Amino acid sequence: AMATQQAKYLGGNNIQLYHQGLENQSKDYMEIEGELRKAMQNNELEVFYQPKVNVHSQCIESAEALVRWQHPKKGVISPAEFIHIAEDSGLIAEIGEFVLLESCLQAKQWADNGTAEITVSVNVSAHQLRHENLAQAVGNVLKTTKLPENQLELELTESSLMENLSAATALLKRLSDLGVSISLDDFGTGYSSLSHLKRFPVDGLKIDRSFIKDITSKPEDEAIVNAIIVLGHSLNLKVIAEGVESKEQLALLDQLGCDEIQGYFIAKPLSSQDMTTMLLQQKSG
């Protein structure tokens, strides 16, 4: 009991604040944080969409919303460079809400104007799980956009869920009660106990790109991917591979029984306009 108490006391927010303190000293960090605040006011953030296709039908079933920062001087800044700063500073709450609303509006528009009925997948960060009333925010967005709940999927990482297991389990339950799908992003890279998989109400596993990269040349990677697919299917989960860049990778994933793929082989993340064009091309056959 003592050890648990101590872990509780030392963990969570205290460690978090300590890290923030250290990082806040960096000049770059402060600069980016300030610019990011301005960027939101100036509408410099834009949502791009990357298609996910069904391995068998090769049809686009969904699209992942990926935020982009169109910096007036520096050009496009990748989320890898600013999401962690947005997380530490709390700006992620606002960015997350923007991406959620924007992508639900977009999916609803595609459905209403006859372009396509697809699901949008929105990334949710650890900070959003800790601080935001995520289920309520998601419920509100579904209500305002009138997007059917089965057309929204949330991508969460295992590690963010493992941070606070009981809170995460309760949150996942509320989200799945809303009818949205949940998928575990970057699967295989975080530390997660497999026994939690059956307790989390999740719908899909997204195999991390690092396992796909050398899948056709490294038998160990193929074995890991195969194991994840078998595990996922035995738990009735949809399995998707991210970072698919070649025909050979696709063929192997198909052979292993993977359900969906996403990656440069199909398309890079596209502006909403380019994504619309791709959906219309698919529609006209």
Binding site for Mg ion (CB under 5 A): 123, 155, 185-186, 242
139 part of the interface to ligand C2E, by CB under 6 A = no
- The region, left, alpha or beta by phi > 0 then psi within -120 to 50, assigned to residue 121 is beta
The dihedrals phi and psi of 205, each to the nearest 5 degrees, come to -120, 135
Q: Residues for the chain: how many in total?
A: 285
By a kind-dependent CB cut-off of 5 to 8 A, residue 102 interacts, out of Mg ion, ligand C2E, none, with: none
Q: Of residues 3-42, which lie at the interface with ligand C2E (CB under 6 A)?
A: none
Out of ligand C2E, Mg ion, none, what residue 269 binds, judged by CB under 5 to 8 A for its kind, is ligand C2E
Asked if 134 touches ligand C2E (CB under 6 A), the answer is: no
CA distances from 21 to 27, 91, 202 (A): 12, 16, 35
Could you tell me the smallest distance in angstroms from the CB atom of residue 96 to Mg ion?
A: 13
Rule CB under 6 A: say whether 83 interacts with ligand C2E. yes
How many Å apart are CA 33 and CA 132, to the nearest integer?
20
Nearest CB to ligand C2E, comparing residues 115 and 160: 160
CB 196 to Mg ion: min, Å = 19
Q: What pairs with residue 71 in β-bridges?
A: 75
Under the binding rule (CB under 6 A), the answer on residue 99 touching ligand C2E is yes
Instruction: Report the residue from 1, 3, 80, 194 that binds ligand C2E according to the rule CB under 6 A.
Output: 80
The CA R_g of the chain, rounded to the nearest whole Å, is 19
Piece in contact with ligand C2E (CB under 6 A), picked from 63-71, 134-142, 193-201, 250-258: 63-71
242 binds ligand C2E (CB under 6 A): yes
Minimal CB distance residue for ligand C2E: 263
Residues 193-232, interacting with ligand C2E (CB under 6 A) = 209
Q: Decide: residue 247, CB within 10 A, 0-12 exposed, 13-18 middle, 19+ buried.
A: exposed
CB atoms within 10 A of CB 261: 24
* Cβ 179 vs Cβ 149: under 8 Å: yes
Picking from 247, 231, 251, the residue whose alpha carbon sits closest to that of residue 239 is 231
Say whether residue 185 binds ligand C2E (CB under 6 A). Answer: yes
Nearest approach in angstroms of CB 83 to Mg ion is: 11
Stretch near ligand C2E under the rule CB under 6 A, chosen from 32-40, 189-197, 250-258, 261-269: 261-269
| Among positions 186, 222, 259, 260, the unique one binding ligand C2E when judged by CB under 6 A | 186
Q: Which residues of the shown chain bind ligand C2E in the complex (CB under 6 A)?
A: 50, 65-67, 78-80, 83, 96, 99, 123-125, 155, 185-186, 209, 242-245, 262-264, 269
